[in-house]
Every structure is written in structure tokens, then in C-alpha cells.
Amino acid sequence: MVAKKPSGVVNQEDSGHIYYNTADIAAHQQSTPAPQAAPASAPTQDPADYDEATEGDNVYYNNDEDVYASFKASQPKLDAVQKYLVDALASGKLKEEFSTLESMPEGVPQEVALLKKNFKKNRFAAILPYDRNLVVLRDGYSEGTATDFVNASYVSGYKLDKQFIAAQGPRDNTVGDLWRMIWQEQITHVVMLTNIEERGKPKCELYWPEEEGGVDTFGPVTVTTTHVQCRDDFFIRTFSVKRAGSDESREVTQYHYVSWPDHGAPTTTSLVTFWRYVHNRTKPADGASVPPVLVHCSAGVGRTGTYIGLEIGVDMAVNEGHINVLDLVKRLREERCLMVQAVDQYLFLHKALLEAYTAYGTNVSVDEFDAMFTGHITSDKPHPRVDKEFQTLQQMLNLTPAHRHDTASLEENVAKNRNPDILPSEEHLVYLTEHVSGRNQYTNAVFMPTFRDHRGSIVTQLPLPSTLVDFWRLVYGNDVSAIVSLSSPNEEQEVKPYCQYWPINEGKTLTVDPYTVTLTSKTERRGSKVTSYSLNLGKKGVKTTRVVELLHYKGWTGKVGGSTSDILHLIDTLVTLQENTNTDRLVVQCSDGVGKSGLFCALCDIINRMTYDREVDVYMTVRHVQSVTPKALSSVTQYRYCYEVVQNRVREMSVYANAPQR
């Protein structure tokens, strides 16, 4: 998304400046409870209520074709699929092409949805399923308002008939119908692409018990939420489902993507990472007969069509070596009206297909890693497969629109940046919320997504002596309870001016008005490059202090993090610390806030994914990091090092798994 210009500067009594953090304001507005929706009524006919409203198109895709045109002019090496997608995105004609699409085939009946007994079950009056591929509920259940109708359509996959069911998000009078359909169709996987509320408007009725262990009954179906997992952009929920009159219990998994913005589209790296996670768990084996995957958003056409189009398009591109997105969307609209509803989604589908197709095959299971990546991987020696991935990574980085650095480049902030070439982007900039006389809201820091949290880490530079107070404002204002400081053994001599921002002797206090930082304990592990510091952080006028744990790692050598065993020890120590202290937000700090920090953040996510998902996805993890800080992991040496660390951890896991159990 093109970052917004700072909203303005407001003078304070002390002449300090404060910048409106528009992202936080928007987040606050979105989190404000919406008025209770009225009881089930006639479907809305207001297009502004569509969850795929097109008001943000021009903002999200402004001038993007210039990026693709410049890339095309550089004559990169592309195969037929990549060339088709790049040519389309560079042409500037996709909006015109989209306008040629018919919303639905002429003369296709939608009479069942228009029946008086069914019409109030539709969320939108203009978005109705076709009679010919409507999902019909055949269980005879007729309690309350139940009928045999649900606003859902069978949709064919690349080769498989009825691979998907595309549906609207349930209304308060159709939740039971949704679960009746899930039971009837023996659905085991549900993909949800909307939030319950967006922009203060209801988008989907909550159709599951929110709390782990919660139980609720919807019509004839009882649902128990047995497990909830969190990732940075999505949730994975597992339900146990029972139907009245049956002793059978079934397991249903919901994949809930929560990062589709109100306007426009998500980042390609975010959605493709989610899609790959779901795809790896739902793809049917060749020739296998499997239940359909239920995909829904609010209306069941825009985001839903984009997601299904991504799935079908990648399968087609990989298996046939070509693709035509216009024909693909026409085909989708043969089965449900308005699929890929808005022009921004049509443009985004091209981008997501390019991202997913280019990254195809870079995700491997832990069990397959050694077979896929043969030979010993080291950061200082070429490796054919790893080096080829890095070349692809660099090529895709050229397709990333340039970040804007308006706030960081303001005259009053320039001196706060250690490196004038490493500046935080407007989109990811962390604004300081702690007021200190004479200081504005700027510091050189960005939010970085982690394995579990979209804003789980704050990445920043080593503070300058003149910005020391801003560092502790950053920590205090964001409720940070853990800091990782990354340095070489001779950092104090190599980085000028160096700033020691915490006391190194037990019992000593560093005063940075209005904050005090006291070292309560220090632990140096024999043979380890990690020193642990427990700090008490206080603030003038506040009686209570906060505990902040700091891990100082001095094992960095050159561009890489030292021996793989040392860096893995640091990551494991951090994971244990976060589990034991329930740490939510982390600060990662190195001299410039990019070189060491970007690599470390990538490694943490890679190792966590190996542990919890048993998958290795170095390529997309680095793409994710570079979407925030494009200068991170800029050398093939660092990219190889990621794989060297992975190979070491895979072999550790293998040894542990094969060890005799007592």
C-alpha cells in the first residue's frame, strides 16, 4: 500500500512536535464496538456495505504499473507464466480489461434465492447463488426459519469438480444453516477471509464459540472449540462437531485470515503465506475424492473469488505452463456472480499469482529437507539451489514499490538516524506515545511481524547518545518486556558514537529522565555468547516499575550471526524467556537496525515455523522481512546462512527424534 503522508504537525507547549499515527487511529476506530445489528431483515442493497467495496482502488494501486514497466524494461529472465503476468501488470490496461467482464452470465436463473422464505437469508440483494450449482440442504430440518436454502455455490477447482463451496458470511438467521451444510457436505476445512466487523459494520455473524473449550449449539449442530492457534496474519481454530441424533463426532479446521484491509488488498507476501499454509493441508491427492473446502468472506464473491482464483491459477500455471487471468475470472463467474468483485482485487490476483508461482517449491517439510537440499550448506560457499532462490528473491525485490520516508527525512529528525540510507518507512514506522518535553514522536524503529503477531517485534538501531531517552520511551510506551541486542565482540570500538543504554553492573542505575533503568541481575553462561540482564524500568511519578529482560548476544562475525550453534542457542533462550514470562512484544536492536536485526528476525520465524508447523520456508520468510525493511538480508552470504542454520536444526531434530526413550 502507498503510505500516507504524515497527517500534520501539532505544536505542544514545549515546542516539541507530535505526528498523528494514522495507522493506530484507524486500528482504534476499527476496534470500537459497532452498534448491535438489527434482527434479520431484508438484505442490504447498499453497495458500500460490500466487504469488497472499491473506494480504495486508486490509493492501493497508484502508479504500480510503472514499477512493473521498469522491471520489464530491464529484460529479466522470465518463463512464460511470469512474462504474461509482468506484461499484464506493466500494461496499465488491467482496469480497462476488468470493465469488460460481465457480473454473471445472461439468463442464469437465481429463483431459489428470491423465494420469499429464502430472501431474508441473503446478506446482499444483488449477490445471489445460481440455481444450477446451489448447495441444497437435504436434511429436512425445519425448526424456526430453517429451509433447504443457504447462500452457497459449488465451485470447480483446476481439475476437480466441486473442489470448493463459495459462500456468504452467515447472518444471525443463517448460522445454523451454515453448520447444517458443513455436516451434510462432510466439510473438514473452512477458509474465512473477513473479520466479524470492519469499519464499524457487521460483516459476518460469529458462528463458533470464541473461547477454547467453549460449546454452543447452532440449529441441530453442536460445536466445541477444541484448539486455537495464532499466526501473524491468521488464526487456526479446531472444532469438534456433532449433529443431533448422531453419535459421530467430526473435526473441522477453520483458517481465519484477518489481514485483508478495509480497502484495497493485503500484501502479496501475507496472503500467499496464508494460502500456502492452507494449500499444504487441504490439497487433494491425485485422483482422491475429498469433501469441498468451504471459502467465505462477507458477500462470498470478492475476497472469496480472489482466493479461489489464486488456488486454481497456481495449479494451472504449474501444470500447464500458461495462464489467462481474464478467462479464469470469467470461468469463476460462470459458477457464482461477481467473483473477484472489484478492480483492485483483479489487479491483486495478478500480483498474488506472480508471487505464489515464483515461490512455488520453496516451501518444504522438515522431513523432506535433507532430501531436497543435499550437501553441506555453509554461508561462504555456493549452493546451486540456495543461490538460485536468492537470485529470484532479488528479482522479486525489484517489483516492490519504493517505501516512503517522509517523517524520517524531516529536518528535525535527520540527525536521529545513524545511517541516512536506512530509514523507517511510513507504513511500518513506530510512533513514540510517551510524552517527554522537547521531544517529538519520531525514532528510527519499525514494527516487524513475527511468527505469531503482526506487530510482534520492534526493530531499531543502537540509540545515539542524543536519542537515548527516545529508546526508553519506545520500550516503556509499547509495554516491551524483552530486548535482544545484537553485536560483534568489538562493537564498542567499531560503532561510533557508541551508546551503552543499560547498566552493566548489578545494583547500578542508569537515569534517563524521566526513566530509571536498574540492573537487578546478570547471568553469563559458560561457553555462550549470550549474557542475560534483568532490568527494572521505572518512570518519574509512577510508583510501580516494570521488569525488562535483555539478552545481549556478542557472537556476530561479519555479515552472519556466528556459529549456527551459538545463534540457535540465542533463539532457544529467547523462546524460553517468552514462554516463561508471557512476553508479548520484543525489541530487536543492532547498530543500524537492519543488518543483524533483519537476519535475526528471519531466523526466529524460520525456526518457529519448523517447530510448530514442521515446515521450512526461508524464501517467503525473507520476502516478509524485506517487505518491511528492503535492505535486510541483502547478501547471498546471509541467505545461505539461513539455510545453514536450518540444516543444523533439522539434524538436531533428527537426532532427538531417533534417541532411545527411557
Strand order in the sheet with 482-486: 445-448, 457-461, 586-590, 482-486, 546-553, 530-539, 515-524, 509-512
Q: DSSP E strands: which ranges in 606-655? A: 615-616
Q: How far apart are CA 589 and CA 656, in angstroms?
A: 32
SS3 string, 300-322, reads CCHHHHHHHHHHHHHHHHHHHCC
Instruction: State the DSSP H helix or E strand holding residue 640, giving kind and residue range, or none if neither.
Output: helix 636-658
Sign for the pseudo-dihedral over CA of 304, 308, 161, 290: negative
- Give which of 174, 169, 164, 166 is closest to 119, Cα–Cα: 174
Main-chain dihedrals φ then ψ at residue 44, nearest 5 degrees: -70, 145
* Three-class DSSP labels, 203-225: CCCCCCCCCCCCEEEECCEEEEE
Q: Of residues 297, 337, 601, 604, which has the active-site annotation?
A: 297
Query: Catalytic site residue 297?
Result: yes
Q: How many residues does the chain have?
A: 662
| Cis-peptide into 514, omega within 30 deg | yes
Catalytic residue among 204, 337, 590, 642: 590
Distance CA 572, CA 267 (A): 30
Phi-psi region of 152 (alpha: psi -120 to 50; beta: other; left: phi over 0): beta
How would you label 65-87 residue by residue, b for 16+ Cβ within 10 Å and e otherwise? bebbeebbeeeeebeebbebbbe
CA dist., res. 468 & res. 445, Å (int): 13
User: Given the DSSP bridges, would you call strands 17-19 and 221-230 parallel, antiparallel or unpaired?
Assistant: unpaired
158 exposure class (CB count in 10 Å sphere: 0-12, 13-18, 19+): middle
601 catalytic, yes or no? Answer: no
- The closest of 51, 22, 14, 9 to 436, measured between CA atoms, is 14
Give the DSSP H/E element, type plus range, for residue 532: strand 530-539
Backbone angles phi, psi at 14, to 5 degrees: -90, 10
d(CA 337, CA 104): 5
Question: What is the set of active-site residues?
Answer: 297, 590
